[in-house]
Amino acid sequence: MEPRDLPSVTDLMAALEDARSPRDVAADVARRAIDQAREQIARGGEPDPIEIARIELARLERRRPRAVINAAGVLLNTNLGRAPLHPDAATAAAEALAGYGNVEFDLESGQRGRRGAYVRELVAGQTGAEAALVVNNNAGALFLTLAALGLDRQVVISRGELIEIGGSFRLPELMAAAGVWLVEVGTTNRTRTADYQDALRPETAMILKVHPSNYRTVGFTDEAGYQELAGLAHRRHLPFVADVGSGLLDSAVPWLPGPPPAWVDGEPAVRQTLAEGADLVLFSGDKLLGGPQAGIIAGRAELIDRLAGHPIARGVRCDGSTLAALAATLELYADGRAGEIPFWAMAAIPADELEARSAALVEAVEADGELVLGESVVGAGSVPGQAIPGPIIRFPGRGRDAVWHRLLGGDPPIVARRREGDLVVDLRTVPPEMDGMLAAALTDACRS
């Protein structure tokens, strides 16, 4: 092959007309494919520019935002978007995106209003807080709180709570970026109220307690409780800030029938943490709350006003679609319907229902699947060490790369779990209406 034999960009694009990529993207891929082919010819190769372009387009297609089937049994899979939204929340977000709305407009006065005013009222009502503020995520909520209340001053925190979250983001680094001085007290496994008291100085801005929601320390441990730290902070006229992370609104879980599930045991809840004296409680919107990604701050009105008036508040504010989805989610709590939220609905699926669906799937898939007792995982750095028992499907020896990648390359892609060479499918995170599609995809992947 000679360079003159290579197709033009126009001809190559015509050969790729079945590709789903936008025209300009396909043109860029065609140019790069021709350049690569020219380089291969110079090295004595016989390249196929059409194949080069198709491989690149397929790579780009896999990177596009796409819906996937989560068959891994991780309810809040951060890499898959965490909490699926309730249809009411998804509709509210879509409507907010499709047109204009009263994002920051008061329909009573006809003047500029407070962004998210209705959502703030819902948060306050569901948590017992005086006031609330919503920002784009919980890291943003903590950064704003530190910068607004602690700039150039000391923040006292237990050494055992200096956490690292996903993506190698470390709490000490976030605190430094916010301009506060970190004062760590106690030890990794034991920190008492007296340790905090001994560290308080005139330069202290607050006492901060961060729930280590992505790991659990067991054994010879001790930690100061929320009520004790609130009392200490208030005696010294300091705010006590609690970052509870996962967004469990009420430890009683009144939206589910019966007693609270065993897997929420030990997880701090927003309402109870405020009742124990915390001045501000920070939590996520897209974890146990079951809403969109957001950082929510609930607590004393005076402190909330200070945060809302800080310049960083604008840099971390939410858009209208997030506020609409969060409002719709909180309305489900206010209406006693939070059990319908996908996260809670999946967590509460009865074992016998899962077993019946799983048995039917094993029967439908033309492969050697077997039904075994396993566990689903909450995920997203929530309730560490806890799991939800239930039936899962194991396909022995099918967790090798070939079957795995066939499932990922499907339409829609399917994300299962691999364990010791086996493929594991957990239907807890699969909508029942997708069982048939999943069975067909598993049959094809195991047969190829």
Answer yes or no: are the C-beta atoms of 60 and 416 closer than 8 Å.
no
What's the distance, CA 15 to chain centroid?
41
Going by their DSSP bridges, the two strands 222-223 and 190-191 should be labelled as parallel
Answer yes or no: are the C-beta atoms of 142 and 174 closer than 8 Å.
yes
pTM value is 0.93
Q: Which residue has the tokens 């075994």?
A: 372
CA gap 11, 205 in Å, rounded: 67
Q: What is the mean pLDDT of residues 142-160?
A: 97
Residue 448 banded pLDDT, cuts 50, 70, 90: low
Give pLDDT, residue 422: 92
222 beta partners: 190
Asked if pLDDT for residue 167 goes beyond 70, the answer is: no
User: 87-338: which CATH topology?
Assistant: Aspartate Aminotransferase; domain 2 (3.40.640)
Residue 214 banded pLDDT, cuts 50, 70, 90: low
Q: What DSSP line would sit under 179-237, residue for residue? A: T-EEEEES-SSEE-HHHHHHH--TTEEEEEEE--TT----SS-EE--HHHHHHHHHHTT
Q: What dotted CATH number matches 69-81+345-447?
A: 3.90.1150.110
What mean pLDDT is reported for the chain? 93
Residue 160 banded pLDDT, cuts 50, 70, 90: very high
pLDDT tens digits, one per residue of 278-324? 999 999 999 999 999 999 999 999 999 999 999 999 999 999 999 99
Residues in CB range of 124: below 8 A, 6 or more apart: 130, 131, 132, 298
Asked if pLDDT for residue 366 goes beyond 80, the answer is: yes
Give pLDDT, residue 86: 98
Token digits for 73? Answer: 């049994």
Asked if pLDDT for residue 220 goes beyond 90, the answer is: no
